[in-house]
């Protein structure tokens, strides 16, 4: 048998998963990397550490299944989006740590861009608001603060890219002929990309002081990106997608109206709008969902929530009330409801649909009655409430009524949360058998290009339901809980 390898480079770790033709995981390996916090609101990663970890997990995944490069037909790559790297194309050395998508140091840059009335121009061309979340302001910060970049830029020695471009360049040879490429989904997260032309936009590049020479070539999501040069030597990379688009692909959301929500460090919901570009009036993003070969791309509406799984980690690490993330479900089950306690996890502002950088974290509704179980439940419920807000905005923008929500990511193992999610959105929540849909989407894109899976229909046959949660909560109770949540949100705004 032959297999497809998927590299899943995430916010906290890097993984390699190997899939067979039935989309079963036959081997996997994972390695965490350091989170660097130089100042409040600053979040960085070491690009060299991520590269070495990527090589390590590939080797470990092969070793665990007693496989060699001869057993792998293609590689798919999925990555944390918006996290930005600048490196020298002659030496291969990064100029600075990677600026992570959560990083808010560019808030002043974003304010200046907004003050110059660029918001409408940016949103009209690429469907994004001006926000610290995206790569463009991060590149501008690097240009303004790292002198070596300004020295080397006129010599055409500087490469700017998201993590996908950094890894593909290195894995395909680096300074010895590495391919400097990205895919449409990652490009669409930069604020430098034109959704209609699928190219870097000269007008937007000018705003950020860039030319396309320092940016990677943009390719479809399922195509040839180059050939592995060292580890898995000779194996082609044939699929690249940003992590949330990869999860959309892995959840088989190929029809307009299909939606998925990934519960990880943050939460990311995508709704397939087909070949139509739908710009949001309700605080959502418009993004490229995927592009298969030379076919027209499929677009999406997206809602991004900054803190979901990270809130459970905070409860574990900062408060020390639980010793593992899994314990929060048992603790939350010790109480029947939230005890009127609400937790707004605006640690670095609120993402969609609010886009409020002034908001900060808030626990409200505390009385002497409240205990650690109520707080645990409030932490889980915060994820479900934020998901509700995104889903409502999507339905308004796309003028459709969703029947169900496909879910994946680490938090979907929490059945208390999944039932509350179904209750609060009033819709079915469906979990697939294979919840590693991000890696699976990258594998699907890679395998589709080489004919390992000949068609979309073949991919659909590999997706199966594990469990469905139906809404059980009375409408009156649901509305009361949602009104309290909205009240708590208003209290959190305007702190910073």
Comparing CA positions, the residue from 267, 299, 297, 270 lying closest to residue 284 is 270
Distances from the Cα of 339 to the Cα of 299, 349, 490, angstroms: 41, 25, 20
Residue 136 is predicted with a pLDDT of 94
Q: How far apart are CA 391 and CA 387, in angstroms?
A: 6
Average pLDDT over every residue of 332-348? 94
pLDDT digits over 92-118, tens only?
999 999 999 989 899 999 999 988 888
Q: Which residues pair with 236 in a beta bridge?
A: 227
pLDDT digits over 443-482, tens only?
999 999 999 999 999 999 888 889 999 999 999 999 999 9
Q: What one-character DSSP code corresponds to residue 350?
A: B
Q: How far apart are CA 472 and CA 449, in angstroms?
A: 43
Comparing CA positions, the residue from 148, 124, 147, 122 lying closest to residue 135 is 122
Q: How far apart are the first and last CA of the chain?
A: 57
pLDDT digits over 128-138, tens only?
988 888 999 99
Q: How far apart are CA 399 and CA 442, in angstroms?
A: 30
Let me know how long the chain is. 496
What's the whole-number average pLDDT of the chain?
Answer: 93
Portion of the chain with pLDDT greater than 70, in percent: 100
Q: How far apart are CA 183 and CA 402, in angstroms?
A: 29
pLDDT digits over 187-207, tens only?
999 999 999 999 999 999 999
Q: Which residues pair with 292 in a beta bridge?
A: 222
Q: Which residues pair with 98 in a beta bridge?
A: 45
Q: What does pTM read for this prediction? A: 0.87
Residue 257 is predicted with a pLDDT of 87
State whether residue 441 is helix, strand or coil.
helix
- Secondary structure (DSSP) of 372-436: HHHHHHHHHHHHHHHHHHHHHHHHHHHT---SEEEEESGGGG-HHHHHHHHHHHTSEEEEES---
Please give the helix or strand (H or E) that residue 54 lies within, else none. Answer: helix 47-64
Find the angle CA(433)-CA(308)-CA(245) to the nearest 5 degrees: 55
Q: Which residue has the tokens 């180059």?
A: 226
Q: How far apart are CA 183 and CA 167, in angstroms?
A: 13
pLDDT digits over 164-173, tens only?
999 999 999 9
Give the pLDDT band (50/70/90) at residue 403.
confident
Q: Which residues pair with 13 in a beta bridge?
A: 32
Residue 412 is predicted with a pLDDT of 92
Q: How far apart are CA 3 and CA 421, in angstroms?
A: 36
Residue 129 is predicted with a pLDDT of 87
C-beta of residue 218 within 8 angstroms of C-beta of residue 199: yes
Which domains are assigned to the chain?
3-244 (3.30.420.40)
Q: Which residues pair with 259 in a beta bridge?
A: 271
C-beta of residue 201 within 8 angstroms of C-beta of residue 218: no
C-beta of residue 216 within 8 angstroms of C-beta of residue 236: no
C-beta of residue 390 within 8 angstroms of C-beta of residue 270: no
Residue 281 is predicted with a pLDDT of 87
Any alpha helices (H) in 235-297, and if so which ranges?
Answer: 243-250
pLDDT digits over 15-33, tens only?
999 999 999 999 999 999 9
Residue 177 is predicted with a pLDDT of 93
Give the pLDDT band (50/70/90) at residue 119.
confident
pLDDT digits over 235-291, tens only?
999 999 999 999 999 999 998 888 999 898 888 899 999 998 998 888 898 999 999
- Between 79 and 401, residue with greater pLDDT: 79
């Amino acid at each position: 048998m032959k297999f497809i390898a998927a590299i899943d480079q995430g916010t906290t770790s890097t993984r390699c998963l190997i899939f067979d033709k039935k989309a079963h995981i036959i081997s996997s390996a994972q390695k965490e990397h350091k989170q660097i916090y130089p100042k409040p609101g600053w979040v960085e990663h070491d690009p060299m550490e991520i590269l070495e970890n990527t090589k390590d997990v590939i080797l470990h995944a092969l070793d665990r299944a007693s496989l060699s490069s001869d057993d792998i037909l293609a590689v798919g790559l999925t990555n944390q989006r918006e996290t930005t790297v600048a490196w020298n194309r002659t030496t291969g050395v990064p100029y600075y740590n990677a600026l992570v998508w959560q990083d808010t140091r560019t808030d002043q840059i974003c304010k200046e861009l907004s003050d110059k009335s660029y918001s409408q121009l940016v949103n009209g061309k690429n469907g994004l608001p001006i926000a610290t979340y995206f790569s463009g302001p991060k590149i501008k910060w690097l240009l303004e603060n790292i002198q070596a970049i300004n020295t080397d830029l006129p010599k055409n020695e500087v490469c700017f890219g998201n993590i996908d471009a950094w890894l593909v360049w290195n894995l395909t040879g680096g300074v010895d002929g590495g391919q400097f490429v990205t895919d449409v989904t990652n490009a669409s997260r930069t604020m430098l990309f034109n959704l209609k032309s699928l190219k870097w936009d000269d007008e937007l590049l000018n705003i950020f002081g860039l030319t396309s020479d320092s940016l990677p070539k943009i390719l479809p999501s399922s195509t040839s990106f180059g050939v592995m040069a060292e580890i898995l030597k000779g194996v082609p990379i044939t699929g690249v997608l940003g992590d949330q688009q990869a999860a959309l692909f892995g959840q088989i959301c190929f029809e307009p109206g299909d939606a998925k929500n990934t519960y990880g460090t943050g939460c990311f919901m995508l709704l397939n709008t087909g070949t139509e570009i739908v710009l949001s009036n309700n605080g959502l993003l418009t993004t490229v969902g995927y592009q298969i070969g030379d076919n027209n791309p499929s677009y999406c509406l997206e809602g991004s929530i900054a803190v979901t799984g990270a809130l459970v980690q905070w409860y574990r690490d900062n408060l020390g009330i639980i010793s593992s993330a899994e314990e929060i479900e048992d603790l939350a089950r010790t109480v029947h409801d939230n005890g009127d306690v609400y937790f707004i996890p605006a640690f670095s502002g609120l993402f969609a649909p609010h886009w409020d950088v002034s908001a900060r974290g808030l626990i409200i509704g505390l009385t002497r009655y409240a205990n650690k179980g109520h707080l645990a439940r409030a932490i889980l419920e915060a994820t479900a409430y934020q998901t509700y807000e995104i889903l409502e905005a999507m339905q308004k923008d796309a003028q459709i009524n969703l029947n169900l929500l496909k879910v994946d990511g680490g938090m979907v193992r929490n059945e208390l949360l999944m039932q509350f999610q179904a209750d609060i959105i009033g819709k079915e929540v469906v979990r697939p058998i294979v919840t590693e849909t991000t890696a699976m989407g990258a594998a699907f894109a890679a395998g589709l290009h080489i004919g390992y899976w000949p068609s979309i229909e073949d991919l659909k046959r590999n997706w199966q339901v594990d469990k469905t949660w139906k809404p059980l909560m009375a409408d009156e109770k649901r509305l009361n809980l949602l009104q309290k949540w909205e009240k708590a949100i208003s209290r959190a705004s305007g702190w910073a």
